[in-house]
Structure 1
Amino acid sequence: MKFSENWLRQHVPTTASHDELVATLTAIGLEVEEVTRLGEGLDNVVVAEIVAAEKHPEADRLQVCTVDAGGGATVQIVCGAPNARVGLKAPLAKVGAVLPGGMEIRPAKLRGVESFGMLCSAKELGTDADASGLLELPADAPAGQAMSELLGLPDASIEIKLTPNRADCFGVRGIAYDVAAALDGEVAPLDVPPVEAATDAALPIRLEAGADAPRYCGRVIQGVDAAAPTPWWMAERLRRSGVRPVSLLVDITQYVMLELGQPMHAFDLDRLGGPIGVRRARQGESLVLLDGREAALDPGFLVVTDADRPVALAGVMGGQDTRVTETTRNVFLESAHFAPAAVIGRSRKLGLHTDAAHRFERGVDPQLPRIALEYATRLILDVAGGTPGPVVEEALGEHLPANPPVLLRRARLARVLGLEVDAAKVERILRALGMQVETVAEGWQVVAPSRRFDIALEEDLVEEVARIHGYDAIPATLPGGATVLRVPASGRVDEADARRHLASRGFLEAVNYAFVDAGLLAAWKADADAVPLLNPLSAELGVMRTLLLPGLVAALGRNTARQQPRVRLFEFGNVFTAPAVEGEAPVERLRVAAVACGGARAEQWGEPAREVGFHDLKGDLESLARLSAATLEFRPAAPAWAHPGRSAEVFLAGGEAPLGWIGELHPRLLEAMEIDDTRVVAFELDLEPLLERAVPRAGTLSRQPSVRRDLAFVLPEDAPWAAVEASIRSAAGPVLRDLVLFDRYQGKGVETGFKSLAMGLILQEEARTLTDREVDAAVEAVTAALQSDHGAVIRG
């Protein structure tokens, strides 16, 4: 928000100096980002009128002007400005003046003709960036008047940085309340008497958008001189607020918005038929906006209609067909309240940024539209004339926001701030901020003004008292109370331990946005339950992620594209899916994912180089599961993003619901993500089951010797090891302490379609030594189980 310091002082008279005012704004949370001092160095700069102008005898682009500098004295000036002409009033820097840029004015000769001063542009005076010609002053400005007096200088253009909750400070008057509270002053009354109707001309209004548009005010003004120039004082305030004057009607709506905070719009009445309505746009509708672009609309947009024809994008921008021009004679003024939820994100969706949308998105005072309409009407009548009709207002009272009373307790205020603030001062601060205050036994019952959307809790009032009382007045004290030590739960693996474990396996942790591109999820065929964002940061961050892997693989791709052939990344994070019942919050799940490509080992000399594969990552995942003593099972499965035959679903041993997936990514997916000439293996699964564990208990170690029996079985090639292992453990019973698979063979001696698995069975009893008969019985039971379950035979 940018504004003129003098404009602010008009609303809150104060004796504070410029530096004190700027410091106060920052101290109360309205951070000053930039200050531009205006009017310094304008001594000896006066209003002058060109009374004669002749062509320079030696230069085509120069004129020799005779100017009246006041008091009957004339001065000869050589000027090259294209708009220099007889009758023009412009600033004259007299001999001896030093302009804001440091230029000192001295007598000079230009191509042999003497010049005693300089006629100035706005840029040379430091009041604007326009250097295209002389600054044209009002025709009624008296010659010889000091420019500082005419322009209301000195002044300063102050730009403040507002947090999203302080929408009330998007108007000079809203800022004035904070300044008045901080400087122990009062805001000047806003005198906006209603303008009586002089004609019955009016347009009926229909509200069809419910809570999205609960209030709409409109007024017809006929016989307006839209070509009248914008008053000098208004144009200057607009310029100092960062707004370039355009035309009278547009400038007045901009002026009212900057002063009161209420966006407005002016329609050319002759291009309207009525009635005026507000409704949701329909699919397929379009509207040509003021900037000439055609906006494709859908039911997410709110539109203002004329006889059901869209003529403006509500809260964002008007339409080109009904815009006011200098030929406009009859005007329909709009002043409305649109709910933030109905406007937020709509301008960004169209690639726009408008002052109106910026305000409506954060919340505008719902009680302000009629006041702003009366104020704008008075300005138009004073400058451009016209005949006003009655104000037509439609309101849906049940949908208008209301500020409920909030109790501020003395004890709570003292506890949060750490100091006692005098009760009279607390009450003064709250009243100065425009709040209704009633003293009660516990403290104060406070009703915030309608412009303060951010006051809803007791803590909000505590913050108001704190910032106006002064943060620097609050003592810095260490927190008191005993520190509670929390012992880590024995039944859960700490997430930090899990992260460190993956890092010890050679992985680097990545942190990606929880927002992703909808197109990226579509490429993974993982967009079925995606949750779209109403107000995304950008089009590339439009939906919540349903998987960690798309973002993680994209990060891997960025690394390989930058000459990193061996990449190993992991991420812990939440994924989000749409709720089963509409209106509920999205479903969140904590997951872990990892990706790897390149060499299985970092570059070394000790063993032959090979590319990372499925079993390398499977070993990393199983080592992570061992932190909680979890046993995993892997069952063949190929989701849309996986390489067929090289991936599996992951289960807890004996479980029915899959935890996630592990395997190799499909080459077509890698090609779509521009990751070429490399194999990428990955896993992603729910993390919580891997962190839960039984409380560790001490046990005895058997002193009895173990017995090992090595067996080799020929099985069908499609028999998974997980199923084979389950059969062996079930058949051998509790005497089987460990099972080791040490060979897999296909080739000569093994029939096509079969494989040979060689394994070691380690058998042991805790209290006694196993007999040969018991060992043989266990081996026979395993053999019989494998033959029955998988058609296996002992390899000869």
Structure 2
Amino acid sequence: MKFSESWLRTLVDPQLTSEELSHLLTMAGLEVEDLSPVAPAFDKVVVAQVLEVVKHPDADRLNVCQVDIGSGTPQQIVCGAPNVAAGLKVPCALPGAELPGDFRIKIAKVRGIESSGMLCSAKELGIAEEASGLLILPADAPVGQSIRQYLELDDQVFEIKLTPNRADCLSLLGVAREVGAITGVATNLPVVAEVPASIADRRAIALDAPVACPLYFGRVVKGVDAKALTPEWMKRRLERSGIRAISALVDITNYVMLELGQPLHVFDDAKLEGAVHARLARPAEKLLLLNEQTAAVDADVLMISDDAKPLAMAGIMGGEESGVTLETRDLFLESAFFAPAAIAGRARRYGFASDAAHRFERGVDFGGTRRAIERATQLILEICGGQAGPVVEAKAELPARQPVRLRTARAEKVLGVPLGSERIAGIFRGLALQFTQQGDDFLVTPPSWRFDMEIEEDLIEEIARLVGYDNIPSPAPRARMAMLRQPEAQRPAYRIRQMLADRGYQEVVNFAFVDTAWETDFAGKTDEADRIRLANPIASQMAVMRSTLFGGLISNLLTNLKRKQGRVRLFEVGRVFRRDTEATPVSGFAQPWRLGGLAYGTALPEGWADGGRKVDFFDVKGDLEALLLPAEAVFERLTHPALHPGRAARILLDGREIGCVGELHPEWVQKYDLPVAPILFELDFSALKQIVVPVYGEVSNFPPVVRDLAVVVDQDIALQSILEGLKPVLSSLVRDIQLFDLYVGKGVPENKKSLAFRIVMQDTQRTLQDSEVDAVVQQIASELAQKFDAERRA
């Protein structure tokens, strides 16, 4: 919302500077985004009249002018402007004047002829970006008066950044009402008297959609002069509010909208047939709008029409075919209240915006609808002439204003300041809120211009604004502090992050809403019922909630590759989402925490001792095993839609699946144009936080005994199953058993493999005897033969 300070001060004039007023508005919740002068500093520029224009004898494009500057003696000024002519009134910079751009005017000779000043364009005065010639002033401009005073250039333009709930301040009336309430200064709000009808002409109005349009006023005005010039004061106020002056009739409706907050529309009465209807759009209905766009109107769009055709999209934009032109003689003036829900979002749907829609979708004062049509009629008759018919009113059920209860004690507790009933009552009176008191409680009825007062907190906010946010103290919080218990068997989240960072991974944070294709590729969700689709996504590629972290990590990898990063280690801790009718706290959805990671490029940073080996499954498996220590995880073969069918594994901890790890599926490597496949993993974050508490073991003073055992087994038997099978029968003397060799080839039967284990045995009380050691090795060999049909290899 932009407006000039001088216009505001005609309605309310507190004894404050521009900067003080700006600060006061901001602290009351109406943030002043910009405060700027309408013109840069300059002096000694007056209104002048050109008396005579003669061609310069030595220059084709220059003229020698005799100019009256109000001093009694005409001044000679050489001018090159193409539009200079005798009789014009224009700005004249006198000798000694300093114009914007550090340009000083002095008496000088131009091609041999003395010039005592300069006739100015709007650009030279700094009040326009471009100018094709001199700034032509109205014929009644007083010669000799300072141009700053005549054009009111010692003015400031306020630009207020309003929140959507404060539609009442989208007008000078609303802002003046706020300033009066904040400062306690009396307001001089515009008094609008009813314009008596001088003709009987009228047009019937029908509310065919009374919920969407419960109030409509219309009036016929005949014999207007649409070619009349808009007064300079009105053009000046419009332009300083960011609205370009177009024609008198259009300018008047825009002016009333800025002044009172009520959008209006003017139809050419000669183009209307029968009654005016407020109705919903009909099937396949189209309308050519004033912006020359033809809109195929949806069924939920409110339309203004006559008996034969549509005239306008209600509250949004008028139609081209029924609009006024400079030839219009008779007009139909509309002032209506449209329900915010009937207007909201409609303009954006068709790819444009309008000042009317901006106001109607937030809520317009339905108590001032009649006042606006009377004010517009006044201005039309004053500027364009004509005769006005009676105001025709069509009315249905208007929005109910439900009283809201405020408890004084509650307001004081929330704001943390003593208020008292009298002070609160004074604030409500200043805001023109009707209320009744019931002890220390207030029952407040919101006025017709406030659509944002529905609950007690809304009234508390009003009190806070009027008290002033900078007047509410901010004491340091006081509370009893207690150290929270941290179970020994639970690892802090930051520690898990730190462990990954120590192994070269960098943390990323991605959006939880993702591309639908990611859910199909990386989670295998091809059925629409399995996806959690957003009702109102912020972008088409963010339409569903993620059920895996893989998509975001692949996107991060692609971003890094575009920036020539050849070695990438990433991890993310975040929620994923899935349907679950038993989930809490949000019914129907589970939102577990997951830890996802990705490794790409070389196994080690580039260096002279490294051969540039690419990271593989076992590198990342080692990272995960280190992350899970001291617990021992089990890795089993897995089929996963995102991972390579032969290079992926599920991760089990104490028999429970906690995640997966594997190489990206070749199909997705090709689809996402990756040079080589990255290694991905995803784990249940809550499982990672639960750790096995280390148990102290006595350190033996006796030497360990090491034996090697080689066996031949079927090639499809997994090492993990062998180690798990040996655990129940291992002697307490066995400290460790590890595979150190795998051999397939000569000397080993086909479809067989040779596995060599290193067995470490030790006792804390004595040195082991050979017989004991041999017995343990024989026991292990027998168990392998019995469970896995293993043959001992010499």
The match for 1:255 is: 255
1:658-737 paired onto structure 2 within 5 Å: 660-674=659-673, 676-692=674-690, 696=693, 710=709, 712=711, 714-715=713-714, 717=716
The match for 2:640 is: 638
The match for 2:595 is: 592
Deviation at 1:161, TM superposition (A): 3.5
The match for 1:554 is: 555
The match for 1:486 is: 484
Deviation at 1:556, TM superposition (A): 2.0
1:430-579 paired onto structure 2 within 5 Å: 430-490=428-488, 492-516=490-514, 528=528, 529-532=531-534, 534=536, 536=538, 544-576=545-577
Q: CA, structure 1 residues 177+501, in 2 after alignment: closer, same or farther (shift >3 Å)? A: farther
**What are the Cα deviations for residues 753-790 of structure 1, in whole angstroms up to 9, with x where unaligned?**
66555567889999999998898677655654446xxx
Aligned-partner Cα distance in 2 for 1:531–1:201: 50
Aligned-partner Cα distance in 1 for 2:502–2:408: 53
Deviation at 1:651, TM superposition (A): 5.4
Deviation at 1:565, TM superposition (A): 1.3
Aligned-partner Cα distance in 2 for 1:579–1:326: 65
Aligned-partner Cα distance in 1 for 2:451–2:573: 37
Bigger mean CA offset, 186-195 vs 152-161: 186-195
TM-score by length of 1: 0.80
Aligned-partner Cα distance in 1 for 2:221–2:360: 29
Q: CA, structure 1 residues 201+452, in 2 after alignment: closer, same or farther (shift >3 Å)? A: closer
The match for 1:405 is: 404
Deviation at 1:496, TM superposition (A): 1.4
Deviation at 1:114, TM superposition (A): 4.7
Bigger mean CA offset, 18-27 vs 263-272: 263-272
Indicate the SS of the match to 2:533.
Answer: coil
Aligned residues: 774
Aligned-partner Cα distance in 1 for 2:61–2:683: 78
Indicate the SS of the match to 1:679.
Answer: coil
Q: CA, structure 1 residues 203+417, in 2 after alignment: closer, same or farther (shift >3 Å)? A: closer
**What are the Cα deviations for residues 445-503 of structure 1, in whole angstroms up to 9, with x where unaligned?**
44444544554554544444344333443444322232233223456432212211211
Aligned-partner Cα distance in 1 for 2:356–2:83: 35
Q: CA, structure 1 residues 693+186, in 2 after alignment: closer, same or farther (shift >3 Å)? A: farther
Indicate the SS of the match to 1:244.
Answer: coil
**What are the Cα deviations for residues 382-439 of structure 1, in whole angstroms up to 9, with x where unaligned?**
4334545645556565xx47565141423x4444444434653333233323333444
Indicate the SS of the match to 2:208.
Answer: strand
Indicate the SS of the match to 1:425.
Answer: helix
What letter matches 1:679 in structure 2? A
Contact 2:266 2:333 in 1 (8 A): yes
Q: CA, structure 1 residues 116+612, in 2 after alignment: closer, same or farther (shift >3 Å)? A: same
Aligned-partner Cα distance in 1 for 2:374–2:114: 54
**What are the Cα deviations for residues 714-752 of structure 1, in whole angstroms up to 9, with x where unaligned?**
3354x6666666666678899999774555554445566
Indicate the SS of the match to 1:644.
Answer: strand
1:207 and 2:206 are equivalent in the alignment? no
**What are the Cα deviations for residues 295-328 of structure 1, in whole angstroms up to 9, with x where unaligned?**
78778x8464648988766666556565554345
Indicate the SS of the match to 1:122.
Answer: coil
1:47-58 paired onto structure 2 within 5 Å: 47-50=47-50, 52-58=52-58
Contact 1:206 1:275 in 2 (8 A): no
The match for 2:183 is: 183
Aligned-partner Cα distance in 2 for 1:272–1:746: 95
Contact 1:651 1:659 in 2 (8 A): yes
Aligned-partner Cα distance in 2 for 1:194–1:584: 58
Q: CA, structure 1 residues 165+586, in 2 after alignment: closer, same or farther (shift >3 Å)? A: farther
1:329-344 paired onto structure 2 within 5 Å: 329=329, 330-331=331-332, 333=334, 335-339=336-340, 343-344=344-345
What letter matches 1:496 in structure 2? Y
> Any stretches of 5+ residues in structure 1 without a counterpart?
none
1:83 and 2:83 are equivalent in the alignment? yes
Aligned-partner Cα distance in 2 for 1:453–1:81: 53
Aligned-partner Cα distance in 2 for 1:779–1:764: 19
1:603 aligned to which of 600, 606, 613: 606
Percent of aligned pairs with the same amino acid: 40
Bigger mean CA offset, 683-692 vs 749-758: 749-758
Indicate the SS of the match to 1:124.
Answer: coil
1:246 and 2:246 are equivalent in the alignment? yes
Aligned-partner Cα distance in 1 for 2:342–2:666: 43
**What are the Cα deviations for residues 258-299 of structure 1, in whole angstroms up to 9, with x where unaligned?**
3344455555566666865565898x9877665456678778
1:67-106 paired onto structure 2 within 5 Å: 67=67, 76-95=76-95, 97-99=97-99, 103-106=103-106
Q: CA, structure 1 residues 722+392, in 2 after alignment: closer, same or farther (shift >3 Å)? A: farther
What letter matches 1:151 in structure 2? L
1:119-134 paired onto structure 2 within 5 Å: 119-134=119-134
Contact 2:263 2:335 in 1 (8 A): no
Aligned-partner Cα distance in 2 for 1:342–1:687: 46
Bigger mean CA offset, 767-776 vs 588-597: 767-776
What letter matches 1:432 in structure 2? G
Contact 2:761 2:773 in 1 (8 A): no
Bigger mean CA offset, 57-66 vs 520-529: 520-529
Aligned-partner Cα distance in 1 for 2:213–2:765: 83
Aligned-partner Cα distance in 2 for 1:303–1:763: 87
Contact 1:204 1:392 in 2 (8 A): no
Deviation at 1:5, TM superposition (A): 0.5
Indicate the SS of the match to 2:10.
Answer: helix
What letter matches 1:485 in structure 2? M
Q: CA, structure 1 residues 40+638, in 2 after alignment: closer, same or farther (shift >3 Å)? A: closer
1:10 and 2:13 are equivalent in the alignment? no
Aligned-partner Cα distance in 1 for 2:301–2:792: 76
Aligned-partner Cα distance in 2 for 1:393–1:708: 102
Indicate the SS of the match to 1:620.
Answer: helix
Bigger mean CA offset, 235-244 vs 460-469: 460-469
Contact 1:65 1:76 in 2 (8 A): yes
Aligned-partner Cα distance in 1 for 2:225–2:532: 55
Aligned-partner Cα distance in 2 for 1:37–1:44: 18
Q: CA, structure 1 residues 565+99, in 2 after alignment: closer, same or farther (shift >3 Å)? A: closer
Cα RMSD (Å) of the superposition?
4.8
Q: CA, structure 1 residues 39+637, in 2 after alignment: closer, same or farther (shift >3 Å)? A: closer
Q: CA, structure 1 residues 771+630, in 2 after alignment: closer, same or farther (shift >3 Å)? A: closer
Aligned-partner Cα distance in 1 for 2:18–2:261: 24
Contact 1:290 1:319 in 2 (8 A): yes
Indicate the SS of the match to 1:599.
Answer: coil
Contact 2:712 2:752 in 1 (8 A): no
Indicate the SS of the match to 2:478.
Answer: coil
Aligned-partner Cα distance in 1 for 2:366–2:520: 42
Q: CA, structure 1 residues 297+18, in 2 after alignment: closer, same or farther (shift >3 Å)? A: same
Indicate the SS of the match to 1:563.
Answer: coil
Aligned-partner Cα distance in 2 for 1:578–1:81: 74
Q: CA, structure 1 residues 571+106, in 2 after alignment: closer, same or farther (shift >3 Å)? A: same
TM-score by length of 2: 0.80
Q: CA, structure 1 residues 510+140, in 2 after alignment: closer, same or farther (shift >3 Å)? A: same
Aligned-partner Cα distance in 1 for 2:352–2:562: 34
Bigger mean CA offset, 586-595 vs 745-754: 745-754
The structure that has the greater radius of gyration is 2
